[in-house]
Chains A and B, each alone.
Chain A
């Protein structure tokens, strides 16, 4: 089973993926069985509840194919996490690269309570970090602080795209054994190293379609000459376990 854990509903800058039907057709073309939708439009319009609601509606209409992330302004904290849980969404993803990044000392205050609420409601917690300099610069402190605070819960590092920071991503995986890495079209050598050092059961596929073609991510992972078991974990097995089948 192929499970893409990062697909954009209503990307703020790209025309594809306005409606669920279009996303399902793209999944079929790429051979993706299941996908986790993201309310990515909210990073531009701050329409958190409206965007989360749209993802929830798409998931309810196609429960066999789609599940969803909710997102929020972290200052709204655990209360908004409850609202996301009420929509039936499977996790909270914070889009830090678009300005929602508290600094040192504030992760404990703002992200950790959200992650604790996610644990209470049986949801996943994820931090996106493209690595905007100087706010983050590929930094991993926020992931690590949350992972240290909730050692019994997975914390999903999303959008790890800047190749120069992959030594940092691997070191973070080593430092915090509950971190999970999202894989897109990253340099082959780094994906191999992550599979060797952290293990494929801590790696999930995330294309961020329409930013990357899921078919390209799948072909890339299959071209790495990993074991079949590792390939299956990265492309779907690990995500199925984390998202609950």
Chain B
């Protein structure tokens, strides 16, 4: 069996990461994400580019830009009922996003990817 040199191995891994990242970005379905947001009344409290009771999605995206754990953090935020801080300072459990069929992780992930793409 032939061994790859370190530089070749790095190139292969790098290429794979780029392909995976671009596939993931391409796979994001904006219409499905917006549909799920509407179904869950997300847009009553969040605007895409307008603050309401919750921050605008483009601000959320800017805050998490370049952070590796952004997706995980947002998924936890919208599925665990953790506390969210409101403009007047009070804290309230964030609504848990529901999917049909229930607990569809792909739909949740797609929604978070859409938010982070704003």
Interaction A to B? no
- Seen from chain B, the residues whose Cβ lies within 8 Å of a Cβ on chain A are none
Interface, chain A (partner B; CB < 8 A): none
